[in-house]
Amino acid sequence: MTGWRILILLLGIAFGILITGVMVADVPAGPALEFLTGDGWGIVTLVDVYLGFLIAASIIFIVEENKLVAAAWALPIFILGNVVTTLWFALRIGKLIARRT
């Protein structure tokens, strides 16, 4: 379990660094958003990403006993993305494994 937790945290940190690097480099989002909304595959990609966010948020609501805590974790996913999902998953992996047995 510890190995998985470390791997997930490292991937989340790497993703956060990537996001920060793009933000610091001041790369404009406009052209990418135009592509995503103007191309069929771009729309498929957006739907895929947000479907994944919805599934992750649903799992959080299933696992978290306190629904206020669940909402505090789940809602930011739709804005900040899977950086939030990786952090939640790394912190809860032990609880998820324990529920399985």
Quick one: what percent of the chain has pLDDT higher than 90? 54
C-alpha to C-alpha distance for 32 and 73, rounded to whole angstroms:
27
pLDDT reading at 60 higher than 70: yes
Q: C-alpha distances in angstroms, 66 versus 22, 69, 84, 90, 91?
A: 35, 5, 18, 18, 16
Taking only the tens place, the pLDDT of each residue in 78-90 is 998 999 999 999 9
Give the single-character DSSP code of 72. Answer: H
Its pTM stands at 0.78
Give the helix ranges, DSSP H, for 25-66.
30-38, 40-63
Taking only the tens place, the pLDDT of each residue in 30-53 is 888 888 888 899 899 999 999 999
Kindly state the tokens that stand for 3.
Answer: 């190995």
> Which amino acid would we find at residue 2?
T
Q: C-alpha distances in angstroms, 16 versus 1, 27, 56?
A: 22, 16, 18
pLDDT confidence band for 72 (50 / 70 / 90): very high
* pLDDT on residue 100: 67
